[in-house]
Each structure stands twice: as structure tokens, then as C-alpha cells.
Chain A
Amino acid sequence: MTTMTSPFLFPDTVAQADKLAIVHLRRDLQIPTILKEHDEDDEGYAEGKVVNTRFGSFPHKTLIGKSWGSQILASKVDTGSRGRRDQKSAKKQKKDNAEGPGNKRQQYEESTSETPRKKLRAEDGTPVEVAIDDTSVAKEESDAVAAQSGFVHLLAPTPENWTSSLPHRTQVVYTPDYSYVLHRLKVRPGAQIIEVGAGSGSFTHASARAVFHGYPGSEEVNGSATKRRKLGKVWSYEFHEQRHEKLQKEIEEHGLDGIVEITHRDVCENGFLVNGESPEAEAIFLDLPAPWLALPHLVRSKAAPFVSPLNPSATVHLCTFSPCIEQVQKTMSVMRQLGWVDIEMVAIAHKRFEIRRERIGIDNGSQRGLQSTPASVDEALQRLLEVEGNFKVFHENGTKVPKQKDNTNPNNRAKIIENLVEKKVYKEGKLVHRTEPEVKNHTSYLTFAILPQEWTAEDEARVCAELPIVARKGDCEVAMSSRAMRKAAAKAVREKAEAAKSRRAVAQPVISNDDTKGSKTQQRT
């Protein structure tokens, strides 16, 4: 059971082998990695599989079994000598990496760290031709030895940290956008959502979390097999072959197969059916250049061979994600023609804030984070007077007042620690906030629309027969002034009270679900 669960959905308390973990260096620098007990790709480290970061090397065996959120210290890893393997095999491996879609993880690990191989070449100038027996290096894995410095935090994957760490293949749908979209599309556990243009997979992961309502086949194990829940599913489409393959592999590695079904398809041409099966979706997210070309496939009923990909007995919510206003205008025009209602377009402005202490003053010496200008008029006056005094001394005595200059670097380690611990500079200054230097000013326009369930004259006739309408006779003022309405409302309350009184006198109070008492007017708002 544990092997099939996704760390996104059931992270467990500790990091497990063969599952995704996020190695956290900084807020905007996180490295996703699949933890492996052994070096299956044969990368040649003595410690087995290793994550190399700019803050040190972290053999996977120092990560597996650790609680999520643990601070992990770096290990001493010999990143140099493994390059001295047979160049042929190294080259071959590199070629494999480039070709094989599966080695994506390794690629992004390397992109954040200097590859040992490169280093070696830089040192020697020419490729080294040292033949070392390949197997002897790879098979013996030694224990990790703690390094003197460097650490990371080990985090369980979430769609949020995945979004900020995933390998970018296309423009990513960021957290503020996908949160709002999933909210507006009413994507809840058990929903079927169509996602077109899976791209880098950030929206895919977020919607998998939103629709998740149990794994296929898990209902029986659960003990409450009596209550069959509807299981949610993400029907994802990607027309770019490599992206599709990579995403497919990611989904498998992340334990999300069964929840996400990815199809390599251009939906504008070929529609939404998967092996002839309709997704029966009630939510749709279109992130593609021409959403209006996909819309004609997203209709309720058409001539016979057409099978609608929509859930016939639910309202369908749609969102298109387009960066340009022209795309929105075209999309909306087609939406209106195809009978979508409540069409609305919004853009989301998102900001992150920098919170810091602003320390202004001249008496603190030069320190980091300090603006060395007078903090107030008084301080300016004090300084001016000091200068005036020095001038006076110079004119009267002809001698300069010796400057008391502290030659030690104010930014050295001991000084900073002293400032922190003794002077408590973290409490000094004015606490301020401002927008972070980089703002995502525009991601895309979000166009929302709704397609209500189809309701035919036959449906209407059927319900009318089941639940007849009892016509109330008599003349009633419909259009009336607010004053007249207040009067009428007061009258209705009086009548109701009287009716209740008489009912109480006549009959026993009935607490049941019968329909007879329903004749009162609902005035609740």
C-alpha cells in the first residue's frame, strides 16, 4: 500500500526511498529529487546517490528515513575522482542523459551545482585519460562523513514547492493563479477535470491534489466500502511529445498515476475522448494558444457519432488562461456563440513582501543594513556642532582633531555576532514592509464561463408531472412601492401568527417532513 501512495498526498512522517523529496536551500532555490538507496544510475560517488548543491553534497542515505522538515548537514563527498573514470563510458552516460527523458532529475541537480566532470577538465585543461575499472568504483558504497559546513532542509513535496522547484519546460501556472482557478472551477474531491496544455505540470499537480478522493481500488481496503465515493481524476492533454513523455514519467515517479491521465494529443484537432471514453468532466482548464479552437469539442450534444466529453448531469465550469487580450476577445466571442453563460474575465495581481528593519543613524559605525545618515534633526545638529567644534580647534590651535577611526572591518564575523548577540540589532530600527523587487506584473488573463446542464422540454414535462404546481388564485399587487411591500410583509407575519395559533388549537404539533406545512412564504434571506 505504501509503495503506491504519493508523497504529495500522504507524505508520511519521514522521507522514504524511491519517493520524491524537496531539498530546500532557499525559498526560491529548492531541488526536487527522488531518493534512492543505491546509485542505480552509476554516477560513481563512493557514498551512493548524492545531491550536489552549492551548499554542499548530500548523499541520499543521509536523507532517507529523516523526518520531514529536518535540517540536514552536508557530507564530505569526493566529487573529483569519479571523473577519472573511463572517458568513453562517461561520455556515453552523458549522451544517455541528454537523450533519455528519464534523466531529467539528474539534469536539474546538475544545473544547480558545478558538475565534477567540468571542474576536472578545467583544472587539467585536457580530458584525462585514466582507465579505472568501472565496477569497482560504483559498487562499493561507503558511509557518509559529515562535512564542516553546509546544510539544507528536507521537505515533503507539495504542489506549492513543486511549482517553485520544477524543471521549467513552459511558462508555469503559479500558485495564486491555480489556487483561484481551482476555486472558481469548483474542483473538489471526486471531480473530473480536463487540463489542456499540461506544460511543466504545476497545474497538473495542484489539480491532482484538489480532485483526489482516494486511489482507484482503495475503497475496499478502506473498511467503509459501503459508501462508494466518486474518485476524482485529472484528464490532462499535451500536444508536445517530449513534454508529454517527461510529464508522464513525473506522474509515475510521484505516485499520481490513476489520479492523472495524460494523453499526447492536439485537442483542437482530435477532441477529448480517451480510448473512446468520455472524461465526463465538470471542470475544464485550457492553457493553449487558441482556446477558441478547442471550444467546439466542448459541447453538450451534437450529431450521433459525437460523444460529449462533459458530464451530462452537472454544470460545467471552464477557465481559459491566455496572456493576450486578443485571445480573450476571440475566446469570449466563441463562448457566447456556443451557449456559455456567466462569462467573466479577471486578472490576478500578486505581490510578495519584503519585511525588514530599517536602521538609520550615524552613531553605530558602518554596519550592514544600516543607512549612515542622521536619524533626526537633533542628530544632524549634533554632528554639525561637532564639526563646528573641530573647525574652531583647528583655527585656534592649528592642529587637527585626530579622527577616531576604527580600522577593523565592521563586517567581520566576530563583530557581526557581537552585534547580534550583545547589541541585539535584530530588535533595532523601524520594522517596515515593501513589495519585493521583482513583481510578476501579468501572468495571464483568466476567462471563466459556465455551461449549465442541458434541460429539454421533456425534462421539464417530467418534473412538472412529478411535482405539480399548485396555482394560488386571487389578485395580488405585484409591482408595489417599498412602503407597500413593508405593509404587505407585516400583514403576512400577522396572518402567519394567526394561522399558527389556530393550528395549535386544532391539531397536535407535527414534526415531520410532510408537505402540507410548506404553504408559508419564505422570507429568509
Chain B
Amino acid sequence: MDNLVTPGSWVVLRLPSDQTKVLQIAKTNTISLGKIGTFASNRLLFRPYNLTYELLDRKGGDKDSDLRIVPASELHEDILVEEAAALLPENAGPSEIVAGDGVEFQLLGENGEVIMRSNRETIDDSARQTLTMEEIETLKKEGTSAGKDLIAKLMLSHTGLEEKTSFSLAKYKLLKTKKYLKRFTVLPLDVAMLTQRMVEQKDASKVLEIREEMLSLIGSWSNIHFSADPIPKARSGRWLVVDETGGLLVAAMAERMGILHQGYTPPEPKRSPQEEAGEELKDLKIFKELDDDINHTTDIQLATSNTLTMVHTNAQPNLSLLSYFNYHPNSPTDRSSREHPLAQRLHTLSWLQLVSPSQDTTYANPPSPLTSEELQSMKSGKRGTYYRKQRRYRKIKQIVDTTHAGGFDGLAVAASMDPISILRHLVPLLRGGASIAVYSSTIESLVKLADLYSTSRRTAFIQSPPAELQGLSSEETARWQGNEDFPLNPTLLLNVSVQSARVNEWQVLPGRTHPLMTARGGAEGYLLTGVRVFPAEGKVEARGKFLKRKGGREYSCWTTDSGAEGQEREVAYEME
């Protein structure tokens, strides 16, 4: 990821109100922040991220505002002043606390002056601002010193200001600052930012209300990391993903693998959709791309290590959020997408291609090869189509075949589909010791799934394996599709457990530290984790805490429930 804002990259502008604006920045352009104003994009380009800018008053005749970088000392001005004041000797500390009614109190200094006012006398009335709407509007239009003047005037014109406690005063100022201050901060658009934005400002249900802390937990528990094998051609570092969050999970995993943003400069942004209206224009473009195709008769070399294999529900994968990282998987002719690291390392196949490839048209019907004479006689357009079909077939064949070969290092799932059906097909494809992480916005589906791996169910399975498993090899047993009692083979996963995490934000200010008063509700978000294991063949009996009871007979403790308590006690089982 670039450390400077470069043309073509997506950036986030955060306003004092914590609202964000996402845009793809281009050279010599104008960026509008609505009522706050407009400025030239060149003002931001090739400057570092995370700087806060202030819109200066427009010079006469100029349409756009100039920008000024706000130093950190100015951002923290209020608090720094407050802290410095607290250190001064005359304010060394209140000598007395005069209790009022209930929680209201006044703090008196040594000389009896009021340090902290109580809120007994304040009048709960919003109409104590003497500035009228019209006056505020005029002040806004005059728009001097980035709204600071306006805020100062508002504060001064508030009749009840001296009655306010320092708490409400700070609150009042913050409120007005958020509303009128003409500042913004430039942030890079990465997975963290995108997640925050999707959950807080866009449609959270589109990403299954997945919060940052859960996304990072999925990454940890599926053990996804950069893993390009030092030994060439070895297959390692391959992960399976089921993503119904529009590509957010894939992006998060790719970021961990170092294949989401990689020292790669995208071209200038394409024209906006409105501009592509003209039909002739479009045709011309397609022709040009076809020509490109003919030049590109070589396939994209699919990587064998450090890869993500995504199984998707529709004919085409929904990875729309990857466009923020300049990757458009569904338009393979897009040059920037071809050169993107994901082009080699993100392999996608549909459930049909995974479960029943013979019924998939692309996989089952390889395009018949043509001789060079036949090709020569074709029109260039047709020839391009022929090559494209060939390439598409070779690509999907390679992906399907390598996926069926199995040996994946982990599985990450964030889907609204029934996780039982997902695991039925994907667990057999994992290598021993592979980590599994299944996210769900609600716990019910995970509870059902965990129950299928309960200790008692596994014991029953080992005690009397279903009749149809007689004489099957362990490989075939792993791929068994399950029956009514055992929808999944319960011996394939170990350590199945469900967890949840939640981040609580705090306000930390001198003398005013507490958790934030409000937070987002909605789906809590749960994660089921487990490890793929191979059951031993033959007689297996556990050793554990043997309890001596009356008569000195030894028998082992048995458990009929799963979870912690179940694992506390030891299970003994034997295979006939």
C-alpha cells in the first residue's frame, strides 16, 4: 500500500461529524464536501495519509478553497489547555464538596469561588441561543476561519453559557464543532476502513453485519498468512473461502496474505458510467479490448501457493467490494485487474463446479481445438472469442482439479447459507490440522452445527458407525455425505467451539472518562472454530479420570453433552 495519496487510489475523507466520504482520487480534479466547500484534488495528491486539513476562506474570485494542514497541537488544543490549567497551583484542587440534591454538587475552590457548577440552576430549554437562524446562515456564508468564528459567536451568544457545568460546556462546544468546523482528515481505504464504513454507514446486512473484531478473529482462527513456499512448485498456503459479504472477507484474507495491495499503481480511473453512455463509444472500446485479447493468448498463470480458493453461489462470484482495491474479477479484460496480484492468487469456482463438475457447461464441454488454418480463416473477432473460450476452459479446469485434490490449509466462512451444508463439502478437502472458522451473524446456525460435533454424538458414531460406512476406506469415510443421525461425520473436527468478541469504545478526557454512552446494536456476530483431524483406525479407548465408587469398581466418566463441561470429563470409546 502506498504511503502517499496517489492518483487512482480510493481515499476516505472523514469530516468532524465522523461522516465519511469515499472517492477515487484523480489528478486535476475538484473534490466537493457539500456545504463545507470544494477544493482541488491536487491539494491532496502525493501528500501523506492521516493528515487533517482545514478549508481556508476562498480568495476573491476563486471557486475552490485552499487547504491548510492542521497540526496535531491544534487538534488537541482544548484538552491540552485544560490539562495545563489543571496543573497550575491556584487550581490545585477543590477544598470542599458541597453536596446538593442527589448527584448534583458544586465544587468550591479555596477562596470559595465556584470551580465546578452544578446543574441545579440550568434551564432545560434549547431556545437559549440568541442568534437567529438567519444570522447563523449569514455567518455560515461568510464562512471565515473555517467555521471557528461561527462557533465562537455561537458560544458567546448563548445566554446560559455561564450557567453550564464544564461537562455540558464541553459537550456544547463539541456539538457545534462537529456541525460547523470545516475540517477533514484524509484516510486510506483499506479493509478496516471499508468494514467500518459498510457496518456504520452503508447497508450492514450486505456484509452480514461483520464487525472489525470478528473479521480479525476469523483471520486468526483460520490461520491465514503469507505463505508463498520457498520451495518452488510445492503446494502450500492454500485457503478455502466461502464469502457472502460481497468480497469483504476475501479482501480481509487477501490483506493478511499480502496480495490485496502490493506496490502496484493502478492507471487513472476510467470514465464514470454516465460518460460511457454513447453506444458507438462502447463498441469502439470493446473492439480495442478484443485486439488486446488476441495479443494476450497466454493464460494468467495461476499460482500454486499463497492462494485463496473461493466457492460461490451464483454463476459469477460477487466480489463487488474488491473494486475499491482496483480488482474487477468479472471483467477479465480489464488491464489493471490482470496485473493485480489477486489475478493469479484468487481462484473462484461455483458450488456446481465443485460438487458436480460434469453438470457444469464450462467444465464439461471443452471447446474443440481448431487447426491453425481454420484459425487463419476466421475473422479477428471470432478468433478472439475462440482464444478467450480456450483460456476460460483451461483456467476453470485447473481450478476445479486442484480444488478436488484437496489439501487446503484452512477454511474461512462468512455466509448466510446453512453452514452444515458448507462443511459437508469442504471439510474433506482440508489437510490434517487445518483450521476452520465459520462466522455467522446469529448464533442459532452455529449452535446446530456445533451440536453435530458434540462428544456424545461422536461417541455414538464411533460405537456403532452407520451401516453404509462398512468397508469404506478412511478417505471415503471422510467424504461420506451423512445421514439423518449424523448429518456430518463427527470425527473429522476437533475442538469445535463458539465464541464472540465485542469492542467497547471509551471516552478518555481529563476528569471525564467513561465508556461511550451509545453503541451500535444489531447482530452480535459469532464464530465457530475447529481443527480438521484424522481419527485413528482400529480400537481406540480413552484414558481419563477414573472414579472409584462403591465396591472399588472402576468405570470411566461419561458425558452426554458437548462444550467445556463435556471436555472436562474424559470420554472412553471403542471401535468394534
Which of B37, B64, B223 is close to A471, meaning CB atoms less than 8 Å apart?
Answer: B64
Q: Is the pair B433, A156 in contact by a Cβ cutoff of 8 Å?
A: yes
Complex CA–CA separation, A337 to B542 (angstroms): 61
For A150, the chain B residues whose CB sits under 8 A away are: 541-543
Subset of 23 A-B contacts with CB under 8 Å: A5-B230, A13-B432, A54-B543, A70-B533, A151-B541, A153-B533, A160-B435, A176-B217, A179-B219, A186-B190, A315-B48, A341-B72, A350-B502, A355-B563, A416-B558, A417-B463, A420-B560, A455-B51, A479-B137, A485-B35, A509-B281, A509-B285, A525-B22
**Complex CA distance for A73 and B565, rounded to whole angstroms:** 23
Among all A-B residue pairs, the 3 with the closest Cβ atoms = A69-B432, A68-B433, A189-B258
Q: Is the CB of B502 within 8 A of A518?
A: no
Q: Which of B65, B274, B281, B559 is within 8 Å of A504, CB to CB?
A: B281
CA distance A214 to B305 in the complex (A): 13
Q: Say yes or no: is A357 at the interface (Cβ < 8 Å to chain B).
A: yes
Tell me if B370 counts as interface (CB < 8 A to partner A). Answer: no
Known: A413-B556, A472-B64, A504-B278. 9 other contacts (CB 8 A): A28-B567, A153-B531, A344-B505, A349-B504, A351-B499, A356-B566, A455-B48, A469-B43, A518-B29
Q: Shortest beta-carbon distance, A483 to chain B, in Å?
A: 12
Give the CA-CA distance A128 to B26 in the complex, in Å.
84
Indicate if the CB atoms of B216 and A500 lie closer than 8 Å: no
- Is the Cβ of A159 less than 8 Å from the Cβ of B220? yes
Q: Which of B225, B257, B544, B556 has the most CB of A within 10 A?
A: B225
Q: B494 — which chain A residues lie within 8 A by C-beta?
A: 24, 69, 153
- On whether the beta carbons of A455 and B272 are closer than 8 Å, the reply is no
CB distance from A6 to the nearest CB of B (A): 11
Check A437 against B62 for contact (C-beta < 8 Å). no
Contact check, B535 vs A71: say whether CB atoms are below 8 A apart.
yes
Report whether A518 and B559 are in contact in the complex, using a CB–CB cutoff of 8 Å: no
- Give bound CA distance, A27 to B384, whole Å: 56
| Bound CA span A339–B73, Å | 6
Question: Which B residues lie within 8 Å of A344 (CB)?
Answer: 505
- Whether B356 sits at the interface, judged by CB under 8 Å, is no
Query: Is A342's CB within 8 Å of the partner chain B?
Result: yes
CB proximity of B389 to chain A, nearest CB, Å: 25
- Smallest CB–CB gap between A10 and chain B, Å? 6
Contact between A158 and B50 (Cβ–Cβ < 8 Å)?
Answer: no
Query: In the complex the two chains form, is A468's CB within 8 Å of B42's CB?
Result: yes
Whole-angstrom distance from the CB of A302 to the nearest CB of chain B?
16
Kindly state the separation between the CA atoms of A341 and B48 in the bound complex, as whole angstroms.
Answer: 14
Interface residues of A (CB under 8 A from B): 1-2, 5, 9-13, 24, 26-28, 54-56, 67-74, 148-151, 153-156, 158-160, 175-176, 178-180, 182-184, 186, 188-190, 206, 209-210, 212-215, 218, 221-223, 229, 313-315, 325, 328-329, 332-333, 336-337, 339-357, 367-369, 409, 411-413, 416-417, 419-421, 424-427, 431-433, 436-437, 445, 447, 450, 452-453, 455, 459-460, 463, 466-476, 478-480, 485, 493, 496-497, 500, 504, 509, 511, 513, 515, 517-525
Does B45 reach chain A (CB closer than 8 Å)? yes
B106 within 8 A of A: no
| CB–CB B50/A315 < 8 A | yes
Which residue of chain B has its CB nearest to the CB of A337? B80
* B534 adjacent to A424 (CB under 8 Å): no
B520 cross-chain contacts in A, Cβ below 8 A:
none
Please give, as numbers and ranges, the residues of chain B lying within 8 Å of A459 by CB-CB distance.
47
Contact between A214 and B231 (Cβ–Cβ < 8 Å)?
Answer: no
* B5–chain A nearest beta-carbon distance, Å: 10
Q: With contacts A5-B230, A72-B536 known, is A520 near B272, CB below 8 A?
A: yes
Q: With A176-B213, A348-B502, A522-B30 in contact, do A420 and B256 touch (Cβ < 8 Å)?
A: no
Q: Return B498 CB to nearest CB of chain A, in Å.
A: 4
Residue on B nearest A217 in the bound complex, by CB? B230
CB closest residue in chain A, given B218: A179
User: Which single residue of chain B is at the shortest CB-CB distance from A517?
Assistant: B271
* Most chain A beta-carbon contacts within 10 A, residue among B223, B277, B504: B223
Q: Is the Cβ of B213 less than 8 Å from the Cβ of A212?
A: no
**B442-483 to A contact mask, C-beta < 8 Å, 1/0:** 010001101100101101100110000000000000000000
Contact A158 to B435, CB < 8 A, known contacts A345-B505, A348-B502: yes
Q: Which residues of A contact B69 (CB under 8 A)?
A: 455, 460
Shortest CB-to-CB span from A477 to chain B, Å, is 8
> CB-defined interface of B424-445 with A at 8 Å, one 1/0 digit per residue?
0000000111110000000100
CA distance A525 to B201 in the complex (A): 11
**Chain B hits for A413, CB < 8 A:** 555-556, 558, 572
CB pair B62 A345 closer than 8 Å:
no
| Contact across chains for B213 and A70 when beta carbons are under 8 A apart | no
Q: Which residues of A contact B536 (CB under 8 A)?
A: 70-73, 151
User: In the assembly, what is the distance between CA of A201 and CA of B82, in Å?
Assistant: 39
Contact across chains for B23 and A328 when beta carbons are under 8 A apart: no
Q: Are A160 and B79 in contact (CB under 8 A)?
A: no
Question: Whole-angstrom distance from the CB of A450 to the nearest CB of chain B?
Answer: 5
B35 to A355, Cβ gap below 8 A?
no
Chain B interfacial residues counted at CB < 8 A: 152
Give the nearest-CB partner of B431 in chain A.
A13
User: By the criterion CB–CB under 8 Å, are A522 and B41 in contact?
Assistant: yes
* B-chain residues with CB within 8 Å of residue A472 when the two chains form the complex: 30, 40, 62-64
Q: Is B75's CB within 8 Å of the partner chain A? A: yes
Contact B72 A340 (CB under 8 A): yes
Chain B residues with CB below 8 A from A479, complex form: 35, 37, 137, 140-141, 143
B485 touches A (CB below 8 Å): yes
Residue numbers in A under 8 Å from B172 (CB-CB): none
Main secondary structure of the interface of A (DSSP, over half): mixed
- Closest Cβ neighbor of B138 among chain A residues: A479
Establish whether residues B561 and A71, one from each chain, have CB atoms under 8 Å apart when the complex forms. no
B216: contacting residue among A24, A179, A213, A214, CB under 8 A: A179
Residue of B nearest to A72 (CB): B536
Least CB separation from A311: chain B residue = B3
CB pair A509–B284 under 8 Å, yes or no, is: yes
Contact B268 A513 (CB under 8 A): yes
Taking CB as reference atom, which chain B residue is nearest A332? B508
Would A522 and B63 be within 8 Å (CB), given that A357-B451, A424-B460 are in contact?
no
B58 within 8 A of A: yes
A447 CA / B513 CA spacing, docked (Å): 13
Contact A69 B64 (CB under 8 A): no
Q: Let me know if A345 and B560 touch, CB within 8 A.
A: no
| B497 beta carbon closer than 8 Å to chain A | yes
Q: Is the CB of A149 within 8 A of B543?
A: yes
Q: Residues of A contacting B32 with CB < 8 Å? A: 521-523
Per the bound structure, the CA–CA distance linking A88 and B563 in Å amounts to 47
Contact A476 B225 (CB under 8 A): no
Contacts of B244 in A (CB 8 A): none
Q: Which residues of A contact B277 (CB under 8 A)?
A: 497, 500
> Contact at B230–A149, with CB atoms within 8 Å?
no
Q: Is the beta-carbon distance between B448 and A180 smaller than 8 angstroms?
A: no
When the two chains form their complex, are residues B562 and A355 in contact, meaning their CB atoms are under 8 A apart? yes
Q: Given known contacts A426-B457, A515-B27, is B213 in contact with A452 (CB within 8 Å)? A: no
Q: Which residues of B contact A2 (CB under 8 A)?
A: 231
Q: Are B220 and A206 in contact (CB under 8 A)?
A: yes
Contact, CB under 8 Å: A433 / B3: no
Tell me the nearest residue of chain B to A325, going by C-beta.
B513
**A10 adjacent to B229 (CB under 8 Å):** yes
B334 within 8 A of A: no
In the bound complex, CA of A168 to CA of B58 (Å): 61
CB within 8 Å of A: which B161-179 residues = none
Q: In the assembled complex, which residues on chain A have CB atoms less than 8 Å from the CB atom of B568?
A: 26
Given A345-B506, A349-B504, A479-B35, check contact A151 B542 (CB 8 Å): yes
Whether, in the assembled complex, B24 has its beta carbon less than 8 Å from a beta carbon of chain A, the answer is yes
Q: Given B24, B497, B503, which contacts A522 in the complex, CB threshold below 8 Å?
A: B24
| A221 cross-chain contacts in B, Cβ below 8 A | 230, 232
Whether the Cβ atoms of A473 and B560 lie closer than 8 Å is: no
Contacts A5-B230, A222-B228, A417-B463 given; does A179 touch B71 at CB 8 Å: no
Contact residues in B for A153 (Cβ distance below 8 Å): 494, 531, 533
Closest partner residue, chain B, to A493 (CB atom): B274
Q: How far is the CA of A306 from the CA of B267 in the complex (A)?
A: 40
Q: How far is the CA of A519 from the CA of B272 in the complex (A)?
A: 12
